[in-house]
Structure formats: C-alpha cells, structure tokens
Amino acid sequence: DTGVSQDPRHKITKRGQNVTFRCDPISEHNRLYWYRQTLGQGPEFLTYFQNEAQLEKSRLLSDRFSAERPKGSFSTLEIQRTEQGDSAMYLCASSLAGTGSQETQYFGPGTRLLVL
C-alpha cells in the first residue's frame, strides 16, 4: 500500500508565475479531494472528483485555480499568476465512494507552496 503521494513536496515561486501540483491517490480509490491549509488553520476544502468528474468546487477556488483528473487516476492542481496569498500547504486526499458513512479520506503529505 503506497498511500497518497504528492509532488513536489515543496515549491518556491515568484509572484505571477504558474505552478502545477500532482497527486496520486490510493490506486482503487475513485474519489479525490484537494484542500488548502494555511499556517495555524485547519484544511479548507477546494474541490473534489469522483472518477474524472469534478463534482464540487469551493468558492475559495478562484478562476486562477484549475484542477483536472483526466483519466480518473492522478490529479493536477494548477495555479496561474500566483499571488503571495496563495502561499499555503496544498493537501490531496482520496477515498472509496460507495462505503456510505464509513467512507474515510486518506491524506497525502502535502505540497508546501511559498510565493515570493
């Protein structure tokens, strides 16, 4: 069991640049979530996929953010024209739908983004 993996683990970029993060979920999991965590706060939901369909997006997800899961496996989160306020930890989680109230999300280690 390899768990949820994320790449890169750390990213430093200059304001205005575009960045892309990747998440590889647990192989049999059909749901994939993105969250953002700022210092001293709990994670906040950004978006989620069931298979390749993006089913919900938070109002936190401005039009500079886009997420894809083209084949229902790995997912990418892109931030265009980064701003200093985008600096945060970006977390990915996956789960197996269809287990009802027993559904459990498993989190990756996160990608820490610093925008200078």
Partner 1 sequence: GDSVTQMEGPVTLSEEAFLTINCTYTATGYPSLFWYVQYPGEGLQLLLKATKADDKGSNKGFEATYRKETTSFHLEKGSVQVSDSAVYFCALRRPGNAGGTSYGKLTFGQGTILTVHP
Least CB distance from residue 91 to partner 1, whole Å? 7
Nearer to partner 1 by C-beta: 25 or 108?
108
What helix, strand, coil percent values describe the chain, rounded to 5?
Answer: 5, 50, 45
Does residue 74 bind partner 1 (CB under 8 A)?
no
How many residues contact partner 1, by CB under 8 A?
Answer: 29
Nearer to partner 1 by C-beta: 70 or 98?
98
* Residues 28 to 67 in contact with partner 1, rule: CB under 8 A: 31, 33, 35, 40-45, 48, 50, 55-56
**Long-range pairs of 67-73 with CB within 8 A, sequence gap ≥ 24:** 67/34, 69/32, 72/30, 73/24, 73/25, 73/27
Nearer to partner 1 by C-beta: 14 or 100?
100
Torsion of CA 81, 57, 4, 80, to 10 degrees: -10
Query: Could you count the other beta carbons within 10 Å of the beta carbon of residue 61?
Result: 18
The owner of tokens 């989620």 is 48
Tokens of 21: 């993060």
Interface characters, 95-114, with partner 1 (x: CB under 8 A): x-x--xxxxxxxxxxx----
Residues that bind partner 1 (CB under 8 A): 4, 31, 33, 35, 40-45, 48, 50, 55-56, 91, 93, 95, 97, 100-110
